[in-house]
Amino acid sequence: MSTYYLAVDIGASSGRLIIAWKEAGKLMLEEVYRFQNGMRQEGDRLYWDMEKLLSEIKAGLKECARLRKVPAYMGIDTWGVDFVLLNQEGEILGQCVGYRDSRTKGMAEKVDKIISREKLYERTGIQKQDFNTLYQLMALKEDSPEMLKEAKRFLMMPEYLNYRLTGIMKNEYTNATTTQLVDAVSKSWDGELMDMLGIPKDIFGTLYLPGEEVGEFTEEVQEEVGFSCKVLLPATHDTGSAVLAVPAKEEEILYISSGTWSLIGTERDEADCRPESMHFNFTNEGGYEYRFRYLKNIMGLWMIQSVKREIAQDMSFGEICGLASEESIDSIVDCNDERFMEPDSMTEAVRQYCRDSGQQVPEGIGQIASVIYNSLASSYKQAAEEIEKLTGKNYPVIHVIGGGSNAGYLNELTARYTGKKVIAGPAEATAIGNIMVQMIYGGEYESLEKARAAVRMSFPTKAYT
Q: Binning pLDDT at 50, 70 and 90, where does residue 13 land?
A: confident
pLDDT at 261: 87
Tell whether 258 and 225 lie within a shared domain.
no
Model confidence at 181: pLDDT above 80? yes
Q: What is the DSSP string of 70-99?
A: --SEEEEEB-SS-EEEE-TTSPEES-EE-T
pLDDT at 167: 98
Q: Is residue 449 part of a domain?
A: no
State yes or no: is 238 an active-site residue.
Answer: yes
Tell whether 39 and 82 lie within a shared domain.
yes
Q: Between residues 249 and 86, which one has the greater pLDDT? A: 86
Paired residues of 42 in beta bridges: 45
pLDDT at 299: 86
Q: Is residue 202 part of a domain?
A: yes
pLDDT at 134: 98
| Active-site entry in 238, 272, 330, 334 | 238
Q: Is residue 28 part of a domain?
A: yes
Tell whether 109 and 9 lie within a shared domain.
yes
pLDDT at 87: 98
Q: Binning pLDDT at 50, 70 and 90, where does residue 418 land?
A: very high
Tell whether 222 and 271 lie within a shared domain.
no
d(CA 107, CA 433): 34
Residues 272-289, mean pLDDT to the nearest whole number: 96
pLDDT at 260: 85
pLDDT at 259: 87
pLDDT at 288: 95
Q: Is residue 444 part of a domain?
A: no
Tell whether 341 and 399 lie within a shared domain.
yes
d(CA 188, CA 319): 47
Residues 6+ apart with CB under 8 A from 297: 127, 129, 261, 262, 263, 283, 336
What is the SS3 assignment for 86? strand
d(CA 85, CA 411): 41
Tell whether 362 and 259 lie within a shared domain.
yes
Count of domains in the chain?
A: 2
Q: Would you say 396 and 437 are in contact if contact means Cβ atoms under 8 Å apart?
A: no
Q: Would you say 231 and 216 are in contact if contact means Cβ atoms under 8 Å apart?
A: yes
Mean pLDDT of the chain: 96
Give the tens place of pLDDT for each residue, 210-240. Answer: 999 999 999 999 999 999 999 999 999 999 9
Give the tens place of pLDDT for each residue, 57-83. Answer: 999 999 999 999 999 999 999 999 999
pLDDT at 165: 98
Residue of 310, 229, 214, 239 lying closest to 6 (CA atoms): 229
Q: Report pTM.
A: 0.93
d(CA 260, CA 11): 8
Tell whether 101 and 215 lie within a shared domain.
yes
Residues 276-282, mean pLDDT to the nearest whole number: 95
Q: Is residue 315 part of a domain?
A: yes
Tell whether 291 and 216 lie within a shared domain.
no
d(CA 307, CA 318): 14
d(CA 218, CA 216): 6
Tell whether 196 and 253 lie within a shared domain.
no
Tell whether 316 and 356 lie within a shared domain.
yes
Q: Is residue 193 part of a domain?
A: yes
Residue of 18, 22, 6 lying closest to 451 (CA atoms): 22
Locate all alpha helices (DSSP H) within 22-49, ordered by sequence: none
Q: Binning pLDDT at 50, 70 and 90, where does residue 12 land?
A: confident
pLDDT at 71: 98
- The CATH number given to whatever domain includes residue 166 is 3.30.420.40
Model confidence at 339: pLDDT above 90? yes
Q: Is residue 187 part of a domain?
A: yes
Tell whether 197 and 278 lie within a shared domain.
no
Q: Binning pLDDT at 50, 70 and 90, where does residue 148 land?
A: very high
Q: Is residue 188 part of a domain?
A: yes
Q: What is the DSSP string of 283-318?
A: EEEE-GGG-EEEEEEE-TTHHHHHHHHHH-TTS-HH
Residue of 199, 106, 189 lying closest to 151 (CA atoms): 199
% of the chain surpassing 70 pLDDT = 100
Tell whether 200 and 152 lie within a shared domain.
yes
What is the SS3 assignment for 419? coil
Range of the domain at 182: 5-232
Model confidence at 378: pLDDT above 80? yes
pLDDT at 341: 86
AA letter at 335: C
